[in-house]
Amino acid sequence: MSDLRWLDDADDPARIALRQGLDEAERFTHSELMQRRVWARVSDPARTRRVTRNAFLRGALAASALTAVTVFAVERVQVGGPARPTALGPAEHAASDATTGAAAPTPQGQQLAVVAAAGAVVETGAGERLVRVLPRGARAELAPRTAVAVDEQGRPELRHGEVRFHVAPSAGGVDAKFSVRVASYRVVVAGARFVVKAEAQSISVAVEDGEAEIWNGSHVVRIGAGETWSSDAAAETAKRAGAPRASRERSPALAPVGETDSQVAEQDREDLAAARAARAASDPRRALALYEHLASRSGPAAENALYEIGGIYHDQLKQPAKAVAAWDRYRARYPNGLLRAEADLSVIDTLATLDGSEVGSRTLNEALAFLKRYPHSERRGEVSRVVGDLYRERGNYRAALDFYRAVPAAAGGADADDAAFGQAACLYALRDDGADAALRAYLAQRPHGRHARDAARLLGGASGGHDKETP
């Protein structure tokens, strides 16, 4: 079986680029800064008020600003290391010295890292570099032509030039943050190595290790290791968002799709909304009537409605036979529809819950057809397990084994569990020498598995001879 992912087999540039975009998308990284900040707000939850919003009022009043902020947030970060050259050179990995205030190693002829007193202004001239330990323990490497002021509370402000800060991770607590002011921005970290650069027209921050937040008023942007932020991009996008444009046309790339496709008639849209509302309000009969009405038309809304009818029969009305009939209607009308695979799977899932040898045969045929039609489906493991179960029920253990073996271990908890036990049970039924080992392996890997008791029973039977038990 192939392990192709969605769009791995894409052959047109747009879909290839989409797969690339997904592969390159930022993975979630936990933010300690955010955790601390939110804790400061909820540490006394009995007194904390919920954040209230009047979406409509605020949305309307702040419409233009929001657009700017949205774009600001979206375009804020570049990944892959500092985009701008740094005058500081490679980082020194001596941050631990900073916490003690001790003199640090001084590569490239830099001066000893001495403590910068509160209230002092530290400056470097052309070609001069300095390393200073700030009153709160952070270490600052100043590039040439840089000025850093330290206020009475020991907080630094970069006035111009470029500084690399090393801030050792602190032991926690909401006050254990370090911040640097630069123009109207505040860079906040909890433990990081980062470079702040203040030029005549722009501010930039590059995080080398850890994470940083850049605050401007109540707006905040969060960046992680390898990312840079620049005020240029923010200013530029804000300017663009506020500027009039010749065309008010919506970009084709951003046109709504699917159920809100512009091709869908307004009436369809209203009916669709009403059908969804009825379904959500547990009024399946009304939802059914509305979906049937939609299905009698054409277009994407009709296709979607026909599929949803099956769902209502299945989920809310508990009428599986009618659900299958509805999905059959869908497949007959849209043999290559967008929801065809979903309809096939829904039919298999539903038939698998029904009794009767005729139903069993149909389920088997449906499942085999699915595997043939979608050999790379991500749900092939689940369907293979169903086929394995059906063959095992029929006593065709060799065929069952083949399908159980096709279930990847990563298929998901229940399916992988069922398939593992199914294999062992088939081997047991075939009086295969590997049955005991397979049952033992099942119990070892899944001591509390869904079939642990059955596996133990078969092992007990095996100890007295295979004739005693039937899997």
Partner 1 sequence: MVKREGIERTPTDLAGRSGPEARERDMVRRCVEGDTTAWRALYDRHFPDVERLVASLGIVDAEADDICQEIFVIIYKNLARFRGEARLSTWIYRLATREAIRFARRRRLMRGLAELFAREKRDPAQADWSESEAGRRHYLRQLLDRLPPERRLALVLYEIEGVPVSEIARISDCAENTVWTRLHRARTELEKLAQDAP
Do residues 85 and 195 lie in contact, with contact meaning Cβ atoms separated by under 8 Å?
no
Token pair, residue 67, equals 């657009």
Query: Least CB distance from residue 193 to partner 1, whole Å?
Result: 22
Bridge partners (DSSP) listed for residue 165? 140, 194
Q: Which is nearer to partner 1, 126 or 410 (CB)?
A: 410
Distance CA 410, CA 421 (A): 15
Q: Is the dihedral of CA 415, 421, 424, 425 positive or negative?
A: negative
Q: Which is nearer to partner 1, 121 or 338 (CB)?
A: 338
Q: Which is nearer to partner 1, 89 or 460 (CB)?
A: 460
Query: Least CB distance from residue 386 to partner 1, whole Å?
Result: 13
E-state strands within 77-226: 77-79, 114-115, 121-123, 130-133, 139-142, 147-150, 156-167, 178-182, 185-189, 192-198, 203-209, 211-216, 219-224
Q: Which is nearer to partner 1, 163 or 352 (CB)?
A: 352
Query: Least CB distance from residue 183 to partner 1, whole Å?
Result: 19
Query: Least CB distance from residue 444 to partner 1, whole Å?
Result: 9
**Residue 206 phi, psi dihedral angles, 5° rounding:** -125, 125
Q: Which is nearer to partner 1, 101 or 224 (CB)?
A: 224
Q: Is the dihedral of CA 28, 33, 35, 38 positive or negative?
A: negative
**Crossing angle between the packed helical segments 380-393 and 397-405, to the nearest 10 degrees:** 170
Query: Least CB distance from residue 109 to partner 1, whole Å?
Result: 37
Query: Least CB distance from residue 232 to partner 1, whole Å?
Result: 14
Residue that has been written with the tokens 């039977």 in this structure: 461
DSSP state of 88: T
Q: Which is nearer to partner 1, 141 or 415 (CB)?
A: 415
Query: Least CB distance from residue 126 to partner 1, whole Å?
Result: 34
Q: Which is nearer to partner 1, 135 or 471 (CB)?
A: 471
